C-alpha cells in the first residue's frame, strides 16, 4: 500500500484497493487434491478483469532493484 500511496492514489480508491488486497488466502488443487489455505501477503490477485493495471503498479519499478536484464509482459517477469 506504500506504493499505491506514493503514486498519489488516495481516499476512497485507496481504501477500496486496500480492502480488496487484505486478508487474501489461496489454495492449490493438483489432480483433485487440495492444499490447505494459506495467507497471501504479496502479488496481484488473479482472475480480476482489470488485472493488468494492478500488475503494472506492482512491477513497474522492478528493474530499479535488479542488476541483470529482465523481460516483463503483463504480470509476468523473466530474469
- Expressed as residue numbers, the domain containing 57 is 2-78
Number of domains in the chain: 1
Of the two residues 28 and 52, the one the predictor is more confident about is 28
- CA angle 14/74/7 to nearest 5° reads 30
- pLDDT at residue 9, as a whole number: 86
H helices within the chain, ranges in order? 2-6, 11-21, 52-59
Per-residue pLDDT of 33-63, as tens digits, reads 999 999 988 766 666 555 556 666 766 777 7
Alpha-carbon span 30 to 53, nearest angstrom: 29
57 in Cβ contact with 3 (< 8 Å): yes
Of the two residues 78 and 10, the one the predictor is more confident about is 10
Amino acid at each position: 500500500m506504500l506504493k499505491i500511496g506514493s503514486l498519489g492514489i488516495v481516499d476512497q480508491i485507496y481504501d477500496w484497493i486496500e480492502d480488496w488486497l487484505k486478508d487474501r488466502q489461496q489454495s492449490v488443487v493438483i489432480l483433485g487434491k487440495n492444499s490447505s489455505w494459506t495467507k497471501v501477503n504479496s502479488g496481484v490477485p488473479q482472475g480480476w478483469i482489470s488485472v493488468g493495471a494492478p500488475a503494472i503498479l506492482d512491477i513497474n519499478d522492478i528493474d530499479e532493484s535488479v542488476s541483470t536484464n529482465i523481460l516483463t509482459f503483463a504480470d509476468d517477469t523473466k530474469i
